[in-house]
Structure 1
């Protein structure tokens, strides 16, 4: 029986401000960044203290391993990062050195896009060698993922309803991506129009992001109304997909909303895009519009999330066994 394991993939984050320039070079594949962009990222990290993404992801890996063990599945869970340590290539090499022959690989970015999941997949494949992998392409519509987000949202909604005496609407968000990366090619292979949700085209990201929001909203029927926007547009040249959170907040204020819940459904744990972008920048922007903005607790060590990922891993490992069975 081949030795099996699970590999979880995440973005990665530097431990100190001094590491940010190197980290950003990894994020943009070595392209030069203006000094003011680097200084702005340093400033954001200084305001939140540090990003806990790596330690939370490692904890998520331990929780998934425990979930699998409870089901009698003996498989170590490894964690690799695309832009910081432990780097994906180093972790894949370690897996091979440990004798792992088959691996269920899951990217902790549920909504599939060429600019996210595609890059993670290529990083694993480049080092896989003889390691047989099953890569989960996307899991935006996983019921347990929606359950995990709904559990957090329901708690925040109930607290605000006790405080305000009324149900509170919700703004769901996911990380934006450059428009060029989700453009649909025309018949001559040139990029045609941008694929803005619900839109058209070949990249599923925008549709999957909204799909996750819809599943969460269905599970929390007490919310009176909800919107969707893309957050954290980057500083690279060219447009990024929208609508932006800022323009959406402005429109929501125009409807007379005074209290709002913002829930990022593209992120599985706290990091700078949550702790700074949401908790500082968007809260300040909303306050200027007369809106009190609150955020549910991030999934982080959610047992429901751990069960969701463990289920994906279990199915991936089963597919690998099926490929190696005599009848496969």
Structure 2
């Protein structure tokens, strides 16, 4: 959700900038033609037409960052070229001040820093030649003012974008996690399981899914209160985290249900290692707790769909629950 909104924010920003700069380029194409800068006017008209095409595709393109980069390159080229062929009074150098802002808005921190460095360096070089040819006495005053102003804007935008991306990353992580247990949210299960199965199929590796249900959890909540229920959920989640590997993915599937993806593990291996270790860990803290555990394996040759694997593990868990309620 947050990632989609982040993508939408950059798309909207690009479209707004395109509308503004298409109008500006068209306006200056006319005025520069009248002022005698015919080649520059033709280049502006061509670029404005090209931007109009980008505006059309920007609403649906999957390559948003790529087209944003192309847009910025053409925009910065237009400004720098204009500075080189016009005079200082034209005021084209004023567009340099928004180079850092546009770069970070559209490309983010890493790509924005690179293109800002290149475009600002090129813009200052072009401006330096123009000022030196116009008034050598004012060279250091003009370049100092422009340079330090650009540095101040660049610094502020960099700090803002760095903090913004840090906050977005934190929110993404929080959105993926269950607030009580800290395990992954169930809404990511299908996507992560699909990705895991695709990788396993390419490498002919097995994948085992474990489905865990705490027996009589409702009765525990009713008899001992929700605080006790939360303590049990936290204890089970802590045990799961401790017993799983870095590459395993653990989810809180429902109120008292958990799902764990074990890449490159056969069912027997998971049952004899994870199951036993989880049993010992839970017994140390909750010796009267009973759980029903279902195992389901797919691969390494034939693979089922994510939904089928989940259904199979769920079915095996209910089979255990209905027959014996294995006490671990």
Flag the structure with larger Rg.
2
TM-score exceeds 0.5: no
Larger helix percent: 2
Higher relative contact order (CA 8 A, sep 6+): 1
TM-score w.r.t. length of structure 2: 0.23
Larger strand percent: 1
